Amino acid sequence: MRRVNGRVFAASTDDLLLSETLSRPLLLLLAPRSDLKVRLIEQVIGLTVIFATFLVPSGWILAHLEDYKHKPSE
């Protein structure tokens, strides 16, 4: 790390990742929050909504695949 006129410049990407100015905010973002408690029912509801969002449209398409293969006759 080099200092020029009070500014810190990284000599490599490792220096940039390990610099004190960037590591503190990064650790605050990545550290687990102790005050945030997610209950089991909230997890179940969240996972159910996520899976339903993906699986219901996919199931609809797979169930009606033969209908999509045939062109409508006029």
pLDDT of residue 21: 60
Indicate the domain borders of the chain: 1-33, 40-69
pLDDT of residue 14: 58
pLDDT of residue 9: 58
b/e per residue, 28-37, with b = 16+ CB within 10 A? eeeeeeeeee
Q: Over the stretch 1-52, which tens digit does the pLDDT of each residue have?
A: 566 666 665 556 555 555 556 666 766 777 776 677 889 999 999 999 999 9
DSSP reduced 3-state for 4:
strand
DSSP reduced 3-state for 2:
strand
Q: Which of 4, 38, 35, 1 is nearest to 20 (CA)?
A: 1
Cβ atoms of 19 and 7 within 8 Å: the answer is no
pLDDT of residue 70: 80
- Asked whether the whole model's pTM tops 0.75, one would answer no
